[in-house]
Structure 1
Amino acid sequence: MTDTGTPAESRPAPVTLRMIAEQVGVSVSTVSRVLNAGDAEALRWASAQTVARIREYAAARAYRPNPHAASLRTSRSSLIGVLVPRLQDFVLATVYEGIDEAATENGFSTFVTNSLDDPASRAVRTEMMLQRRVEGMIFGDARDDDALLADLAARGVPFVLVSRRSADHASVTCDDLLGGTLVGRRLLEAGRRDLAVLAGLPFASTAIERTRGAVRAFADAGLRVPKERIAWGPFDAAGGREAAEKLLATEPYPDAIFATNDFAAIGAMGVLRDRGLRVPDDISLIGYNDTPLAAELPIPLTTVHSPMHEMGRHGVNLLIDVLGGADPESVRLDPTLIVRESG
């Protein structure tokens, strides 16, 4: 039988939302919203002239929406599933506030649950959300090597990540490598030469990249941070206390401690106090995230400000792009070093 169709290699590549956006000069999210909206609703997102240009270009190039996203839209639940390690965690609670705020503005509701960073719990709770026909998911508990996310991507489930990165999945995070670098440079400028790190969870990109940034800054100055100066553990105050006790079990003590989470820094501050070590005279101490408590401590904590609320809002916008058939690029938000008395 003779195939009279056009050879696959000569067919034009299918048009994408990003191609339309670049041609018209608008964002991918604007294109997605216009093409998925009725005439009146489309004018919420763009002018009548821009709406016409988007639709004319899409029609001329025979744009076809992502079938999975389209099927979700026809049975709209208007529900976004959100999975976080712990909502009692100030950082993730703040990120979630941004998610819920942006979701409401875009006509969605959110359904959030805790995974406790347990792989089995994550899998069960993810399936529970999918059974409730969420339109897409936002994960705040991604792992560095994440089989669950790989499986969801293979199944065509729409999702994005916030707070933590994993592989090449679309994500919105703070530029944690830069944040760690800012910490390392600050300590070097203060004359510190022996760094210890309360690194956090070894499978979290936040912990990995913040630690890497600080260690690299010291390496660039010709100073090595030995492995025994890096303690991994939970991000909370109890985890910070335990890690600091290990680091200070023997002398000589480091002259600087970087905790990749403010609450871990607070736990470390308690250990330093108990040992009669002065902050920052004996040991400088720097945290990360700039939680409200950081500025109110007896010794105000130098820390890195992470745009947590903004991260959540960007995560919703990224997911809307995915639901519209786009393949959006990940977003890295800028950190800011907040210098106070501790380091």
Structure 2
Amino acid sequence: MKDEPIAQRARVRPVTLATVAHHAQVHVSTASRALSDNPAGIGADTVRRVRELAAVLGYRRDVGAAGLRTGSSRLIGVLVPRLTDLVLASIYESIDAAAGAAGYGTVVANTLDDPDHRRVRLDAMLSRRIDGVVIGDSHIGDTAAHELRARGVPYVLVMRKLEGHLSVTTDDYRGGQLAAEHLLELGHHRVGVIAGDQLASTGRERTLGFRRAFESAGYPLPDPYVVESAFSTPSGLLAGSELMRLPDPPTAIFAVHDLLALGAMGAIRDAGKRVGEDVGLIGYNDLDLAATLPVPLTSVRSDLGAMGSLSVDALLGQFRGETPSSVLLPPELVVRATTQHR
């Protein structure tokens, strides 16, 4: 032990707050406040010196102990249908970054869009005394938001919305309109929609905005040209194949999710048609992959990063006793090769 390097021996014993205070030449209570999220009443130079020394010495705050004192776990729960969905994964990444910057950790759970599974996952989160919840899997008829409100647990819906609940979403109705207006300008009158899950606001409002724009232009969509689906690439293939088997298949397809559009590309190919030349195609969310496909995909862009960070801002506001308002972000149509050959 005597021959053991000093650095190794130091790692055996966790660096304490008293050690940080000693090196910073301040009282322990001052060091504690300087390392807190709200270092009120301490000079900026002292805060900077204490934090720099804490980092150099390898000091880590005991968040669990702090939680016992304050009643806060410093944890935010995040419910998503599945993290294999690139849209939810992108939103979660920004949630986690924003939470971390505010001194919070995150706990994410896949609910598989199943009410029973969501119930188990939410109960597990609540048992950990999480401070708030970001709900990314809300449906019509879902009770999670109502239950959290009844329990007094701060929450916010992200990407999907429900009437009467705080949410951070894109104006999906307008996004559907943008897709429709673009296809109408190109001269498409017989079009199809891969509509996603109509119990989710994303599928419902994107489809509704699209259909109403075509109705207003004098080209209402017959019901067989609107196919509901799950939000996945295999579902897009199945729904796209159904559309391409119609006696008069559509000259263009609007898929309410980029992953559905990927599946639709396969269906168009299997029908012996060329994407962008024989059949136009528009996706939604403008994932990174949209621009890099062999035939780059026209898509309606949602600011996924902003949705994630703003949902954390909404929770932090509630923690401070504020009453945040819902946010509706503007969509943007990004035109690429799948709609440029009409």
TM-score bracket, normalised by the shorter chain, equals 0.7 to 0.9
Match of 1:93 among 69, 76, 89: 89
Query: Whole-Å Cα distance in 2 between the matches of residues 252 and 161 of structure 1?
Result: 40
* Residues 190-237 of structure 1: CA deviation (Å, up to 9, x unaligned): 000012100111211111111111111111111101111111111111
- Deviates most, 274-283 or 302-311: 274-283
Deviation at 1:42, TM superposition (A): 12
Match of 1:74 among 55, 70, 73: 70
Match of 1:272 among 268, 274, 284: 268
Aligned partner of 2:138 in structure 1 is 142
Match of 1:301 among 297, 303, 310: 297
What amino acid maps onto 2:142 in structure 1?
D
Query: Whole-Å Cα distance in 2 between the matches of residues 261 and 283 of structure 1?
Result: 17
Aligned partner of 1:318 in structure 2 is 314
1:1-343 alignment, distance < 5 Å: 37=38, 39-40=40-41, 74-343=70-339
* Residues 31-55 of structure 1: CA deviation (Å, up to 9, x unaligned): xxxxx95634899xxxxxxxxxxxx
Query: Whole-Å Cα distance in 2 between the matches of residues 111 and 75 of structure 1?
Result: 18
Query: Whole-Å Cα distance in 2 between the matches of residues 41 and 205 of structure 1?
Result: 47
SS of equivalent residue, structure 1 residue 342: helix
- Deviates most, 259-268 or 71-80: 71-80
Identity %: 47
Query: Whole-Å Cα distance in 2 between the matches of residues 189 and 280 of structure 1?
Result: 15
Normalised TM-score (structure 1): 0.78
SS of equivalent residue, structure 1 residue 257: strand
8 Å contact kept, 2:175–2:332: yes
* Runs of 5+ consecutive residues of structure 2 not aligned to the other structure: 1-36, 45-66
Normalised TM-score (structure 2): 0.79
Deviation at 1:110, TM superposition (A): 0.5
SS of equivalent residue, structure 2 residue 338: coil
Whose radius of gyration is greater, 1 or 2? 2
Query: Whole-Å Cα distance in 2 between the matches of residues 42 and 324 of structure 1?
Result: 23
8 Å contact kept, 2:115–2:142: no
Deviation at 1:159, TM superposition (A): 0.6
Query: Whole-Å Cα distance in 1 between the matches of residues 252 and 42 of structure 2?
Result: 56
Q: With CA pairs under 8 Å and 6+ residues apart, which has the higher RCO, 1 or 2?
A: 1
SS of equivalent residue, structure 1 residue 217: helix
Query: Whole-Å Cα distance in 1 between the matches of residues 41 and 333 of structure 2?
Result: 45
Deviation at 1:321, TM superposition (A): 1.1
8 Å contact kept, 1:72–1:135: no
Query: Whole-Å Cα distance in 2 between the matches of residues 72 and 213 of structure 1?
Result: 49
User: Cα gap change, 1:111/1:177 in structure 2, threshold over 3 Å: closer, same or farther?
Assistant: same
Superposed structure 1 runs of 4+ greater than 3 Å apart: 40-43
What amino acid maps onto 2:83 in structure 1?
L
8 Å contact kept, 1:145–1:167: no
SS of equivalent residue, structure 1 residue 287: strand
SS of equivalent residue, structure 2 residue 286: coil
Q: How many residues align?
A: 281
8 Å contact kept, 2:195–2:228: yes
8 Å contact kept, 1:144–1:167: no
Query: Whole-Å Cα distance in 2 between the matches of residues 73 and 162 of structure 1?
Result: 31
What amino acid maps onto 2:145 in structure 1?
L
* Residues 62-106 of structure 1: CA deviation (Å, up to 9, x unaligned): xxxxxxxxx999311111011111111110010001101110111
Query: Whole-Å Cα distance in 2 between the matches of residues 211 and 42 of structure 1?
Result: 55
